[in-house]
Amino acid sequence: MARPSRNIEQALLQSGRQLYAERGAARLSVRALTEHAGVNLGMFHYHFKTKDAFLTRLLDGWYEEMFARLSSSAQQNGPPLERLRAALFFLASFVRDHADVLSRVISDAAAGEPVAVQFMRTNAPRHLRVLLDLMAQAQKEGTLARVPPLQRFIFVMSAVAMPLLVAPGIRSLGVAPGVLGDSLHVQVMSDKAIRQRIELALKALAAGGNKK
């Protein structure tokens, strides 16, 4: 059975994940958080001390869950290209399923919010390194073209993951043409659509390597 204090922490973190996505760091008040979680204000300060410490714990815990699963995908048995394909699918699915939090972190970092800036500086290089290593292994194996590593990474992520952040924003603004709105999930957000973009990106890189 979970300890009562553990239950309180989890209630605050669960509410924090929802409210942070809606409000961001600047507009998320401790009082609103505790009211949403049904927790006494004093217990928040007992467990987390400050709002910044809470947000750091919230974002780091969220990221560590993702990174552990990404690393597991990357370390499976099989050729580098297959492991790259699996890692890209997992990461893109994560972006799709958590686009609200990711968009908020990016906007907070752009606004100079210290917790978001530090989160990006600390964690962005970690999943970048996993994918770069897999791409380097696939290049060494001869299944990917010899392209500068960062250029290759940007190309793949722009093709595979970026639409998952952009499309929901366009839909929420109500400016997407009707045909786009009707097809958004099937042609952009679905597992099938993600896998199709991964294949298109990997084929483009492989084809480029065959040209003299």
pLDDT in tens, 36-92: 999 999 999 999 999 999 999 999 999 999 999 999 989 888 999 999 999 999 999
Give the C-alpha distances (Å, rounded to integers) separating 125 from 50, 78, 173.
27, 24, 31
What's the topology of domain 52-209?
Tetracycline Repressor; domain 2 (1.10.357)
CB contact at 8 A, 198 and 95? no
Question: Tens of pLDDT along 102-146?
Answer: 999 999 999 999 999 999 999 999 999 999 999 999 999 999 988
First to last CA, the chain: 64
Domain at 1-49: CATH code: 1.10.10.60
Percent of the chain with pLDDT over 90: 75
Please tell me which residue, 206 or 181, carries the higher pLDDT value: 206
Domain boundaries, the chain: 1-49, 52-209
pLDDT, tens digit (0-9, with 9 covering 90-100), for 12-52: 999 999 999 999 999 999 999 999 999 999 999 999 999 99
1-49 with 52-209: one CATH topology? no
CA distances to 19, 22, 52 from 119, in Å: 18, 18, 11
- Cβ neighbours of 143 (radius 10 Å): 17
C-alpha distances in Å from residue 96, one per residue of 47, 58, 69, 126: 31, 19, 15, 19
CA dist 209 to 2, 83, 158, Å?
A: 54, 20, 19
